[in-house]
Structure 1
């Protein structure tokens, strides 16, 4: 029974793929340029230099009358940098590191090989606990889940897809110090994917 169900499901997806490429799925990976937003506590903490991060996972795309919906699921390792001026005589450069799962659901429009898309992103934190003994970070708490948004452009070249997007957070991903404000992550993301179907 399981084999029959699996075979039926496989034939269904192959049929969708063959029908004018209504459905496609594949792996995707990329790099990100990450900056931190620390506006709530600008007198103590300041954003540092942009840092590079990486992400990888899977995407699917379903065409619907001139538009498409593209859900994705990927692991995102975020690295950031900020300064701590709690003691003005001893300003420290600290690190922000977070591993998370991102689930964007994008609505897009395609014209020839070019695409534009935008949509919400659910972000799920994978960092278990804060290392209280760390002297390289002032993070006192990570949020379990937050919402963000993405908007960008894309290009399809045969089976290859290329995306360039901006991602911004709608709420804080972490708390600094003794509830002295939060951290929002902003990313410019460049990724490459491969259509398997």
Structure 2
């Protein structure tokens, strides 16, 4: 028993002697990449119909903190991140002749929990890992459209992979994020959930400061 205990102590202190723990504070911008189909929505009670489509998924912003535990060339980095996104949807009402398309905006806020595992060589870092998104709030002009409702999942999941550069205590990162759920799955009209063609993905650019 004493032999195993002493071995554990040696390994523990040996690990901590070679490891390094840093606090990260970061922020940045991201773009959403999604190609969505048009939908024809029909109210079965009145037979009125309209066209609904994603017009544009705009740029968003994110900021957060992380802990980077580095051991030799490898590191693990759990993070706590806030992100905000905006999307514009196009609505065309077929019941009104010669009507113009109307643009309705939605904004979403999430708390993200990425867990990054990476490799660093010199100034360059390569990394990947899972990420969980927790929905916290949204505001939408789509409630002006009859029959609209939203049903957000409490949590969705995805992955991140990217490339980073460290210059002193400043880090610059570009990462790709993919998600396992379809974009716009929260959208429902007259109780029917819409599903767009593609899983949402993002390209994130981030500047971080290491302490």
TM-score relative to the length of structure 1: 0.75
Is the CA contact (8 Å cut-off) linking 1:130 and 1:142 kept in structure 2? no
Is the CA contact (8 Å cut-off) linking 1:38 and 1:181 kept in structure 2? no
Q: Relative to structure 1, is the Cα distance of residues 119 and 86 closer, same or farther in structure 2, using a 3 angstrom cutoff?
A: farther
Deviations 1:52-87 (A, max 9, x none): 111111011112353211111111011122334574
Asked whether 1:145 is paired with 2:155, we answer yes
**Bigger fraction of residues in strand:** 2
Q: Relative to structure 1, is the Cα distance of residues 99 and 37 closer, same or farther in structure 2, using a 3 angstrom cutoff?
A: farther
Q: Which of the two has higher C-alpha Rg?
A: 2
Deviations 1:172-197 (A, max 9, x none): 4642123332465422111111111x
**1:192 aligned residue:** 207
Residue correspondence of structure 1 range 95-174 to structure 2 within 5 A: 95-127=105-137, 133-135=143-145, 140-172=150-182, 174=185
Is the CA contact (8 Å cut-off) linking 1:35 and 1:81 kept in structure 2? no
In the alignment, the residues of structure 1 paired with residue 56 and residue 102 of structure 2 have an alpha-carbon distance, to the nearest angstrom, of: 13
Residue correspondence of structure 1 range 13-162 to structure 2 within 5 A: 22-38=20-36, 45-84=52-91, 87=94, 91-127=101-137, 133-135=143-145, 140-162=150-172
How big is the shift at 1:160? 0.4
Is the CA contact (8 Å cut-off) linking 2:80 and 2:112 kept in structure 1? yes
Q: Relative to structure 1, is the Cα distance of residues 174 and 96 closer, same or farther in structure 2, using a 3 angstrom cutoff?
A: farther
Q: What is the aligned length?
A: 178
TM-score relative to the length of structure 2: 0.70
**1:13 aligned residue:** none
Q: Relative to structure 1, is the Cα distance of residues 123 and 71 closer, same or farther in structure 2, using a 3 angstrom cutoff?
A: same
Is the CA contact (8 Å cut-off) linking 1:124 and 1:145 kept in structure 2? yes
In the alignment, the residues of structure 2 paired with residue 112 and residue 45 of structure 1 have an alpha-carbon distance, to the nearest angstrom, of: 50
Which has the higher mean CA deviation after the structures are superposed, 45-54 or 123-132? 123-132
In the alignment, the residues of structure 2 paired with residue 100 and residue 71 of structure 1 have an alpha-carbon distance, to the nearest angstrom, of: 16
Which has the higher mean CA deviation after the structures are superposed, 29-38 or 140-149? 29-38
Deviations 1:5-34 (A, max 9, x none): xxxxxxxxxxx6xx5662111211111112
